[in-house]
Each structure stands twice: as structure tokens, then as C-alpha cells.
Amino acid sequence: MKISRRALMKYSATATAALAATRIFRPSGAIAQTGEVNLYSSRHYNTDDTLYNTFTDRTGIRVNLLEGKADELLERIKNEGANGPADVFMTVDAGMLWRADQAGVFAPISSTVLTEKIPEYLRHPDGKWFGFSKRARVIMYNKAMVESSELSTYEDLADPRWRGKILIRSSDNIYNQSLVASLIEANGLKSTETWAAAFVKNFARSPEGNDSAQIEAAAAGLGELAIANTYYLPRYLEDENPKKRAVFEQLGVFFPNQSDRGAHVNISGAGVVATAPHAEAAQKFLEYLAGTEAQEFFAKGNNEYPVVEGVALAPAVAGFGTFKDDSINVSTYGENQVAAVALMDRVGWA
């Protein structure tokens, strides 16, 4: 069977059709195959292929990977029902994991490995999903236009002195929804709405594009500050194009709220599907993701922060410096998501 480089999302009513769209990872050595795990993932990083291949090499368990957008994958799992093939659902935002849990997708699992290695605030309180990498949503600033000493907190970004200077994605971006949800948890709904109403007045332009678009606009001087996840910036340093590498040099990274609760962090995480046909293999896969080897793949393969202490960062990420992250349980991003979206709509965050 010819396996496509990237799986195309097509809804199907049968497990056969679902698995036909996957990429299959096979052991490179002589390890006997002992099982398989069907992974539905909205992560879209080529570096993860090595992670899956290595898991297969270590365990003999084949990974059948189906990639797509998180909402589409979630809907697919629901449509496939009790006889569906999905074993693991993996996505890149705690708010999306919360949505999946609310839809009854996950089964709670009991794993000493996961509860000992993954901090409590980065996993579901009842063991339904776990964070395996962290991504900090920070302030990136044009070093020719802003001094780091001028920056302090997310709340301060509503100050009128930043009028026309802030670049950020639209309100339908789940990273921003989770950021606002965390502010609701920290400061309350009324205070956060007051903040957001002032914050949108400081936008340099109507929100457009992804995090990379905000970074490039800040480097070009279209705004002075960009709100983005840290892992986007090192990609510019790794680019062969000198103009792209220059973007990395033009921007500084500032971690907000270091004198109080800490910088906002989100996760890439996963859980075992309640109807998983290979539940034991699925749990082994999650436990592998919490191991040092896999944590290094997350850290160095995609410039993310590991969730397990003691794992080395990618050099560019380490260069951003150490920081305190907000230890609020990330499940609250989902709990406050509806309120966050409604609030953003009310204040005119496009």
C-alpha cells in the first residue's frame, strides 16, 4: 500500500477506510512487531515522524498515524463510534483537549509513570489526558523599537502607551482563547473584559495570519510587539534564507508576569480514546511520550519546552532564558473557553 506523506482528512464510516488514510511507522531493526496503536493527531510537525519511528523501534508497536485539524479529527472519532479504530487523540491546546473530554472521547487511565513525571497542572485532574510538551505564549518585541525594561505583564498591554503597536492573531485562534481564559481565571470575568476592551484598541492592525505573520510584521516594524508562541521564532534562525534569519535577530523574547503568577503556558497533549481497540498499547505510547527520549524530541525537534524536568532545551530556546510559568491547571482553559470567546466577541476582537 502506498502511504501518502500527509494524510488527507476524509470522513468515513468504517475502520478500514480510516486506516487506509494513515501513515505507518515500522521498526528499523529486528524487533518483532507485537501490536499497533492508531494515533489521531493534529500535530503537523515532520520531526514527530522520528518520534513515532523510535517508539516502534523500542517496543515493536506500530504507529498508524492519521493527521488532520483537531476539530475534524474530534468529529471523526465521534462519528466512528464504539467500533472506531482510534486509540489516541493528540492535539496542541488544552482547550481542545477539554472539548474532547466534554464529548466523552477519553477514558481515564491510571499510570504511575505519567502521574510521577508530568506535573499536576499540566494534566487532567482525573487522568483523561496529559500534556507532553509546553509552549509559552509570550511578548516578542522589536529590539530597535522597544526596550525589555518597558515590558511587564499581559495586563499592562492594555495601557494606552501601546496604542497601535500590538500584533496578534484573531479571536478564533484557540491559543488566544486559552490565553484569555487564563486571564479570566486569574483576574475574573469583569476585569478581563475591561482589559480586553482596552487591549484591542492597541492593535497595530486588524488580526490576520498565524503566529509567524505576527513575528514577521513586528520585525518589519508594522508593530512593535507580537504575541506568539516561543517555538515559532527559532524556525527563523534555522532557515537558510539570510532575510529569515535576520528576523530572529531583530526580535527579543519577554516572559510576562514574572513578579506574580508567571507566563502563560499551553500544552500539546493526548489521551486514550474510550473506545480504543488497543488500549494497552495506547497507554504504553503515552508513557513513552513522558520518557526522556521522547521529551528530547519535543524539545529539540520542534523547539518546545519539555514537561519533564532535567531535559535539555534546544539551544535557541535555552537562549531565551529561564522563566516562571503560570501553574494554573491548564484544564481551566477549557472550562473558561465559552466565556472567553463571548468576551472577545463583545469587545470587538476580530
323 vs 7, which has greater pLDDT?
Answer: 323
Was 154 annotated as part of a binding site?
no
**pLDDT for 226 beyond 90:** yes
Confidence of residue 234 (pLDDT cuts 50, 70, 90): very high
Whole-model pTM above 0.85?
yes
Was 231 annotated as part of a binding site?
yes
Per-residue model confidence (pLDDT) at position 45: 85
> What does the pLDDT average to over 304-317?
96
Amino acid at residue number 13? A
Was 141 annotated as part of a binding site?
no
Supply angle C-alpha 165, 219, 69, rounded to 5: 90
**Domains located in the chain, CATH noted:** 15-134+267-312 (3.40.190.10), 135-263+320-346 (3.40.190.10)
Confidence of residue 318 (pLDDT cuts 50, 70, 90): very high
Per-chain mean pLDDT for the chain:
92
Helix 211-219 / helix 242-250 crossing angle, nearest 10 deg:
80
Supply angle C-alpha 224, 227, 229, rounded to 5: 135
H-assigned helices in 188-291: 189-199, 211-219, 234-237, 242-250, 279-289
Q: What are phi and psi of 77, to 5 degrees?
A: -60, -45
pLDDT digits (tens, 9 = 90+) for 267-288: 999 999 999 999 999 999 999 9
pLDDT digits (tens, 9 = 90+) for 237-248: 999 999 999 999
Which position has the grid cell 482510534?
A: 86
Confidence of residue 32 (pLDDT cuts 50, 70, 90): very low
